[in-house]
Amino acid sequence: MQDTPHRHQSHDDVVKRLKRVDGHLRRVIAMMEDGRPCVDLAQQLQAVEKAVCQAKRTLIQDHLDHCLDDSVAAIAQGQSVSLDEFKQITKYL
């Protein structure tokens, strides 16, 4: 784990989006417990899944933009840069 927080500009927006997803998922669970039709449940679960995927996409894109800029700047200054983190995050695209 890191000692210092790793934050990007999009993190606050992603957290807000995930909190909305959490609320939506809780409503879907309540719908299921109330015996709502499976078609309604599947539709709502699709919406939850899409929202989570969009949050992930936003996080990864922001990470790549931010960290790529940092890496390019470091290379320009003659510093050694590892691309391992970029390779790791691409697994989640």
Instruction: Tell me if 53 sits within 8 A of 92, measured CB to CB.
Output: no
Instruction: Tell me if 13 sits within 8 A of 57, measured CB to CB.
Output: no
Model confidence at 4, pLDDT cuts 50, 70, 90, reads low
Q: Which domains does the chain have, with CATH numbers?
A: 11-92 (1.20.58.1000)
Checking if the pLDDT of 87 tops 90, the result is: no
Checking if the pLDDT of 38 tops 90, the result is: yes
pTM equals 0.74
Distance CA 70, CA 56 (A): 21
